[in-house]
């Protein structure tokens, strides 16, 4: 006779994270990318992690993110344009860990949704480029309020006893905002939209401090089943 054990066992952790990343935008046609330079910004947020005995779990976050892009025209001294888009972003990751000791490898992947709360531009000696790319209007075109995508990351986790853990990881954003565009479409039907795609980009490092504040375990043990050890 086949006996199937049912075990519900998990660890609940809450904490805070800070990150620092390189941001940009990928436009099509690619001629719009030729003046771009990396834009570096910090971000921070709160974390909730539910992790089971098999080192698999779900990680929720609520983050304050500054994305966008910056451009420089090397032909014009001191020229610079920066557009900063600020979001409240909520990811939901599938969280995986490899190892059972204090030091573990971690990985995660999952979708996120963000809501834009600010859109700021700064420019200096950039008038020539405004004229050069005026027919695209990507410098001032409105941005969608909602941002969608998927992120993946990998790194390490270190446990200081049973209560405190730190996570250090790298992240990469696979944005699918609005299907193909974070910029809104051209509202003038008489004019075709010559921007085929616009996607925000993110590559970042993240540091998270977790408090493993609660363990719960409910087991229904059947004949022949040997319970696993605790977390």
For residue 199, what is the domain's CATH number? 2.40.160.20
pLDDT at 192: 53
Residue 1 lies in a domain: no
| Cα angle value 24/182/170 (rounded, 5°) | 40
pLDDT in tens, 77-136: 888 999 999 999 999 999 999 988 899 999 999 999 999 999 999 999 888 777 777 777
pLDDT at 53: 67
Grade residue 137 by pLDDT with cuts at 50, 70 and 90. Answer: confident
Residue 7 lies in a domain: no
Residue 231 lies in a domain: no
Grade residue 141 by pLDDT with cuts at 50, 70 and 90. Answer: confident
- The DSSP result for the chain, as a single string, is -----EEEEEEEEEEEEEEEEEEEEEEESGGGGTTEE-EEEEEEEEEEEEEETTSEEEEEEEEEEEEEEEE--TTSTT-EEEEEEEEEEEEEEEEEEE-SSSEEEEEEEEEEEEEEEEEEEEEES-HHHHHHTTTT-TTTS-B-SEEEEEEEEEEEEEEETTTEEEEEEEEEEEE-TTTTBSBPPPS-TTS-----EEEEEEEEEEEEEEEEEEEEEEEE--TT--PPPP-
pLDDT in tens, 26-53: 888 888 888 899 999 999 999 999 988 6
Residue 228 lies in a domain: no
pLDDT at 2: 37
Question: Please, are residues 208 and 47 in contact by the beta-carbon 8 Å criterion?
Answer: yes
Residue 64 lies in a domain: yes
Q: Is 125 left (phi over 0), alpha (psi -120 to 50) or beta?
A: left
Of 56 and 19, more confident: 19
In the chain, pLDDT over 90 holds for what percent of residues? 50
Chain centroid to CA 213: how far?
25
pLDDT at 191: 52
- Phi, psi (degrees; rounded to nearest 5) at 168: -125, 125
pLDDT at 178: 46
Residue 230 lies in a domain: no
**The total number of structural domains that make up the chain:** 1
Q: What is the rounded distance in angstroms from the CA atom of residue 119 to the CA atom of residue 130?
A: 18
pLDDT at 63: 98
Residue 229 lies in a domain: no
Neighbour count for residue 179 (Cβ, 10 Å): 7
Question: Please, are residues 194 and 30 in contact by the beta-carbon 8 Å criterion?
Answer: no
Residue 65 lies in a domain: yes
Structure tokens at 121: 């531009």
Mean pLDDT, range 135-140, rounded to an integer: 80
Per the structure, the complete domain to which residue 78 belongs is given by 12-220
Residue 219 has pLDDT above 70, yes or no: no
Average pLDDT, the chain: 83
Half-sphere exposure at residue 178, Cβ-oriented, CA atoms within 13 angstroms: 16
In the chain, pLDDT over 70 holds for what percent of residues? 82
CB burial of residue 208 (10 Å; 0-12, 13-18, 19+): buried
């Amino acid at each position: 006779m086949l006996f199937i054990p049912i075990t519900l066992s998990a660890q609940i952790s809450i904490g805070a994270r800070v990150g620092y990343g390189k941001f940009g935008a990928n436009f099509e046609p690619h001629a719009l990318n030729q003046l771009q330079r990396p834009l570096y910004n910090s971000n921070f947020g709160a974390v909730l992690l539910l992790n089971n005995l098999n080192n698999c779990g779900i990680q929720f976050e609520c983050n304050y993110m500054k994305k966008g892009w910056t451009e420089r025209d090397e032909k014009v001294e001191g020229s610079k344009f920066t557009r900063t888009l600020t979001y409240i972003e909520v990811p939901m990751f599938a969280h995986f860990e490899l190892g059972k000791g204090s030091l573990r490898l971690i990985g995660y992947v999952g979708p996120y949704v963000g809501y834009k709360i600010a859109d700021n531009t700064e420019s200096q000696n950039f008038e020539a480029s405004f004229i050069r790319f005026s027919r695209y209007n990507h410098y001032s075109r409105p941005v969608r309020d909602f941002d969608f995508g998927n992120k993946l990351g990998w790194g390490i986790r270190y446990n200081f006893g049973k209560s405190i853990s730190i996570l250090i990881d790298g992240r990469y954003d696979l944005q699918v905002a609005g299907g193909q565009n974070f910029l809104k479409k051209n509202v003038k039907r008489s004019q075709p939209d010559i921007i085929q795609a616009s996607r925000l980009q993110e590559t970042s490092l993240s540091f998270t401090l977790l408090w493993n504040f609660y363990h719960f375990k409910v087991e229904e043990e059947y004949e022949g089943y040997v319970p696993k050890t605790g977390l």
